[in-house]
């Protein structure tokens, strides 16, 4: 089975040096910037709306990225828009939301339709960001539903660039092993 699949005439566009593990699936109207990584068993499905990822995004093992289609109940739908230097934790789920730059989404966190996560935010593991909620820049959010727990420290704010660069390096090592499609 191919990890990169066209759907209804739209094919994923991968930026330079983008890594997609052979067990992951990227479908349809998906565009990724340079140095992104999509790890084992992750699914990025742009079948009824678009998905856009900036540069140096890491989609960890088992993560699911999808959209909300347009309908009478939801005119226009919700694409999935993700900025640069975003780390999406293992088994996280992003659905029809907007994610800013320099964001860390913890393992098994869920961000729902129409939610907006501003730049420089940490969403704790297992947290739920409900539909339409806005997470303001500079905070750690935790819980179900997610609530601001505290302001991020200077060390935490510096971590966004570090982790994005670390996964950009790691995907090159994995790619050299031959278990990926890379552009």
* Residue 83 belongs to domain with CATH number: 2.160.10.10
Cα separation, 43 vs 134, in Å, equals: 25
Answer whether residue 183 is part of any domain. no
Number of H helices, E strands in the chain: 1, 21
The structure's pTM equals: 0.96
Q: Which domain holds residue 10?
A: 4-178
Residue 181 has pLDDT above 70, yes or no: no
Residue of 114, 116, 111 lying closest to 77 (CA atoms): 114
Residue 106 sits at the vertex; the CA angle it makes with 65 and 93, to the nearest 5 degrees, is 20
Q: How many domains does the chain have?
A: 1
The b/e string for 59-75 (b: 16+ C-beta within 10 A; e otherwise) is: bbbbbbbbbbeeeeeee
pLDDT in tens, 120-170: 999 999 999 999 999 999 999 999 999 999 999 999 999 999 999 999 999
Contacts of 9 (CB under 8 A, 6+ apart): none
Question: Taking the mean position of all CA atoms in its chain, how far away is CA 82?
Answer: 6
- 76: tokens are 């226009």
More confident residue, 111 or 2: 111
Answer whether residue 137 is part of any domain. yes
In the structure, what pLDDT confidence band is assigned to residue 182 with cuts at 50, 70 and 90?
A: low
């Amino acid at each position: 089975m191919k990890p990169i699949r066209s759907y209804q005439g739209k094919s994923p566009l991968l930026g330079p040096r983008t890594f997609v593990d052979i067990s992951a699936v990227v479908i349809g109207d998906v565009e990724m910037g340079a140095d992104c990584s999509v790890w084992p068993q992750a699914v990025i499905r742009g079948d009824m709306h678009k998905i856009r990822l900036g540069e140096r995004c890491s989609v960890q093992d088992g993560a699911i990225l999808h959209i909300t289609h347009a309908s009478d109940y939801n005119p226009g739908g919700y694409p999935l828009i993700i900025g640069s230097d975003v780390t999406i934790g293992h088994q996280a789920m992003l659905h029809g939301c907007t994610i800013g730059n320099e964001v860390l989404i913890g393992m098994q966190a869920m961000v729902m339709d129409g939610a907006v996560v501003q730049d420089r935010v940490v969403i704790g593991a297992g947290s739920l960001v409900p539909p339409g909620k806005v997470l303001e820049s500079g905070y750690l959010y935790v819980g179900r539903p997610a609530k601001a727990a505290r302001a991020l420290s200077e060390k935490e704010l510096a971590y966004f660039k570090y982790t994005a660069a670390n996964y950009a390096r790691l995907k090159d090592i994995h790619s050299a092993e031959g278990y990926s499609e890379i552009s």
